[in-house]
Chain A
Amino acid sequence: MDLSVVILVEMLYAVASLVLISAGLAVVFGMMKVINLAHGEFMMMGGYATITAVNLGVNVFVAMLVVAPITVGLIGLVVERLVIRHLYGRLVDTMLATWGLSLFFIGVATMIFGNTTTGISTPIPGFSIGSYQINGYNFFIIVVAIALVIGMLVILKSTRAGLIARGTMQRSDIAAALGYSPDRIYMATFFCGSALSGLAGAVLAPLVGLVPTSGGAYIAKAFITVIAGGPSLVAGLLSSAGLFGLVNQIFTFAISPVIGEVALLVSAVILLRLLPQGVTGKFFKGKL
Chain B
Amino acid sequence: MWGALGPVGDMPCLLTLQMECEAERRPLGVFECQLCALTAPYSYVGQQPPGTKSVVGLGHSAHWHHFLPCSLLEESYVMRDPFTPDKDRFLILGSRCSSCGRLVCVGPECSLFYSKRFCLPCVRENIDAFPQEIQQDLEKRKVPSKRPASQPGSRT
The answer to whether A binds B is: no
